[in-house]
Every structure is written in C-alpha cells, then in structure tokens.
Amino acid sequence: MTTTVIISMLLDAALPDRCAGIEFDAITPDEKGNILYFKGSHLWRGFHGPAQPSNKYFKELDDNHNTGHVDAAFRMHNTGNKDDHIYIFRDDKVFNYYNHTLADGYPKKIREDFPGVPTHLDAAVECPKGECITDLVLFFKGNDVHIYDNATKTVKTKTWSHLPVCTSATRWLEHYYCFHGHNFTRFNPVSGEVSSGYPKDARRYFMTCPNFGEFIQKRTVRFGHGGHYKIRKCSEAKIDAITTDDAGKRYIFAGPIYMRLDTHRDGLHAFPITRAWKDVTNGVDAVFSYTNKIYLIKGDQVYIYNTAVHYTLIEGYPKTLKEELGIEGHVDAAFVCPNEHTVHVIQGETMRAVDLTATPRAVTQVLPMSLTGIDAALCSEEGINVFKGSQFYKYESPRTLALSRIAPVPQNITKAMIGCEE
C-alpha cells in the first residue's frame, strides 16, 4: 500500500459524518440554492456528498489560527444590488461573501454591521418582508432571539423558551427550521411557535443517509418527505399543467409531482401533489388560478383550494366540470390572463371561454383551434405560452391563439423555465 493511499484513507477517516447524528454549527443556502452545512472546519454542499474543507469555498475563515469553525450563517437578499450575500459569523466577527468572494472591508466586528447583536452566536436566519412584518434577521443565543431590523438597524430581544436551543437555523422553501443535535424543529419566525409533529430527525429530510429514507440518486430532486423524482432532459420534457397564483407562486405539474418555479433561490424541488392538495391523486389534467383560489381539474372533477389558508379545499368540492364551469369532456389545458375574469379551457381542437363572474358559470365563446395536442398553457403580461411536449409556442392573446391558422415557430423548453436537465 503506497504512502499516498494511506494518507488518503486517514484523511477520509477524519472527515465528519453527518449521518452519524452530528450537531451542525451553521446551515445556509448559497447563491444558487445549494444548502451548506457547516461543522468544525468542514462543510457539506447539498443533500448528499462527502464533507469538504470549508476553506475550499471560504478561504478567509482559516486565517485565524487555522480553526475554520463558524457560529452562524445566513443568506440575505440585497434588494439594492439584487445579489444574494452569505453572512458567516465567528466569535465577534462577520464575513460577507458573494459567489465565495469576500466583500471589501470584511471581516468586520459584528457590532459594525449589526449593531446591538451579541457575539458568539448560536444561529441566524433571514426573515424577508411578507413572512415577517419587515425585512428582519433572527439571531439566536441560548433561548433568546435578537430580532434585527434591516431598515432601522435596531434590535428587539425576545425569549422563546418553548423553542429548543438552536445550534443552527435556516429558511427553506418559506419555512423556518431550528436544528438541535441531529433533530430539527419547524417554527413560526414571528411568534416562535413550534409546529406540531416536531422534532424530526434531519437525516430523514435534509440529507441522504443509509436506513434513513430513500437515497437521492444522480439527476434527481428531493421529495419533501423522502423519496426522489428523476429530472427529465429538456428534450424529453412534458408537463401536465402550469399556473401562477395571485401571490406570484408559479407551479408546474407533471405526473404525480409538482414543483415551485418561483423558489429558485432555494433550488428546484419536487413534491407529491398530495403534499399540498391531499385530495387530488394520480396527477392533474389542467390547473388555473383565480381570486386567491387554485382550480385543479382531474377527469370530470374540479377541486378548488383557498391559497390564502394553506391550500384548504373549499367546502362542497370536488364538483363536476358541468356544475362548476358548464362544460363536459376531457380538458387538456386551462388558463386565466392577468386582471381578467375569463378562464379559457382547451379541449382538443376547441377553446371555450367561461365567465367566472357569472352564476351559474357558462360558456360565452367557442372557438376552433389549429394547434392541437396541447399539454398546458400559461398566460402572463408577456402573452401566452402553450406547451406541447418539449416545446412551447408564444401567442399575444387568447384570440390569436384560437384564430391563428399558422402556428408560431416552436421554441424548446429550457432549464430556466422548468428545471429540466439540458
């Protein structure tokens, strides 16, 4: 056995193993949505893979006696520069990185950047306006949370004794997690209230470990509750439905899964449709959004969920297509354009317009279509994208979509559009 092999084996043996149930020092997503897990002088990137020296990505962390440890870290969106900066805290200093490059003037004393925030922190996490009242950062030390207002640069301190002492914390897909030991607890960033069913073992949700749920294989994205979904190549892409709700959340549906496209800062992640819309099984045929409600069509059934109250199925649903929209037959796609009150329903070679303000709802217009075999359609301020297999067609309006005898030149679906693999 050569000396090189022996050294390599010793180095591998010295690497920390997150599947052994370790306690993380800090957790934060990076600029591309990859979650970084810090432990001592090492870190992990993403849900799987071995530990790597943290100075490989943040070399300045090693300048102080070669320790490399961190106390806390978070990613903060800079609305002025539209850049995602990672702030890393160690002892009484803060490091500000973008794309793994240390910003000018850093490291600084914590009090210079975040006056009133204590040193030797346990954890930190960003809370943007909309999820908190204003743009805040939550700094944890013991049972105290120091709430830093980015605009006023003031701090309010609260004691959340009902929340475990967080050794790290992170915001992921609009939820907040406190990590303690090898467990994590979801909490409300305003009140600190702990969600029911916690704590849970991080090895079942935030990483891939033997005997802790299913592995994530290459070219997969993680389901929210274990499992995996194979990413299709863009040339093989096919979606069943796409919609954007009133809050700007954009969803695509393909088979039994859905993905949020507007959460690209946290990466693209697939979830079973039943995770959010538990009554809808075996996929969907069409989806559209209207007045804080999302309509899911499957077969001859229409399910309507209130998006403002965590996708609650409205009482009395599902109803038949005939009852709800005044139509019958298989639906290929459906869409509502911004600031309009008409849903356009595509069925084979026909597009029907249904007035959503009418009672009962009824078809107001029926138009033939030259483009057939449509899978999904989305209307935005820029026009209508009609998806067919791995390509899409752009139209200016519903009328041009219906009356155009010659289809526009098709464009290929890209990774930026739906997270497929190019």
Please identify which residue in the block is written with the tokens 């979650």: 35
| Integer Cα distance of 256 and 251 in angstroms | 13
How much helix, strand and coil, in percent to the nearest 5, is found in the chain? 15, 40, 45
Classified as helix, coil or strand, 308 is helix
Classified as helix, coil or strand, 144 is strand
pLDDT at 66: 47
Q: Tell me if 301 sits within 8 A of 313, measured CB to CB.
A: no
Residues of the chain with pLDDT under 50: 1, 3-13, 65-66, 214-228
| Integer Cα distance of 250 and 259 in angstroms | 8
pLDDT at 10: 37
Q: What are phi and psi of 27, to 5 degrees?
A: -140, 130
Encoding tokens for residue 294? 């999302």
User: Which are the contacts of 407, defined by CB distance < 8 A and separation ≥ 6?
Assistant: 370, 371, 393
Tell me which amino acid residue 27 is: I
Domains detected in the chain: 10-204 (2.110.10.10), 223-418 (2.110.10.10)
pLDDT at 225: 39
Q: Taking the CA atoms of the chain, what radius of gyration do you get in angstroms? A: 25
Express each pLDDT in 105-155 by its tens digit. Answer: 999 999 999 999 999 999 999 999 888 999 999 999 999 999 999 999 999
Encoding tokens for residue 393? 């067609």
Length of the chain (residues): 422
Encoding tokens for residue 313? 């199925």
Please identify which residue in the block is written with the tokens 């329903």: 345
**Exposed, middle or buried: residue 2 (CB in 10 Å: 0-12, 13-18, 19+)?**
exposed
pLDDT at 405: 87
> Edge-to-edge strand order for the sheet containing 270-272?
241-244, 250-254, 257-260, 270-272
DSSP string, 63-83: TTTT----SEEEEEEETTTTE
To the question of pTM greater than 0.85 for the whole model, the response is no
